Amino acid sequence: MITWTQEEVGQAMEKVKELSLKDSAFRQLCLENPNAAIEKAAGKEVPIGVVIKFIENVGAHMTVVLPDAPVSGELSEDELDSVAGGATDPYGLQGTLGGPRQPGSGGYNGMNSGTMGW
């Protein structure tokens, strides 16, 4: 599996921004084929299954990622909370890259420290 460090992701995004300001063809590639644009800017493949989307800055609008829809037969978050035991996560940090280090995980949230799956 191809992995990227957080530093590589940041550098790739900066390179994409830089190229998109200078090269209209590259900017169009970002909009039409984001993974190809990142690969061109960074010289490294984007892992299969990673979906990236660039949008034009056209004023006041916001993009919000909705949570996954529940699958039939699974418990809702409220149902899980009512039956789950153990520690709570009052700050909502569980499952975030760079969140608190999990004991015995060898990294952050079960990932190798400093790397992510894309």
| Confidence band of 118 (pLDDT split at 50, 70, 90) | low
Provide, rounded to the nearest whole percent, the portion of the chain with pLDDT above 90: 36
Give the Å distances, CA to CA, from 27 to 5, 17, 23, 33, 43.
24, 9, 6, 10, 17
Which pLDDT score, from 0 to 100, does residue 40 have? 96
| Confidence band of 88 (pLDDT split at 50, 70, 90) | low
More confident residue, 32 or 93: 32
To which H or E segment does residue 42 belong? Answer: helix 34-42
Calpha distance 55→16 (Å, rounded): 13
Which two tokens mark 86? Answer: 């153990």
Calpha distance 94→19 (Å, rounded): 35
pLDDT for residue 115 is more than 70: no
Which has the closest alpha carbon to 108: 98, 94, 117, 118?
Answer: 98
| Confidence band of 87 (pLDDT split at 50, 70, 90) | low
| Confidence band of 93 (pLDDT split at 50, 70, 90) | very low
Which pLDDT score, from 0 to 100, does residue 85 have? 66
Return the domain boundaries, the chain: 16-56
DSSP 4: E
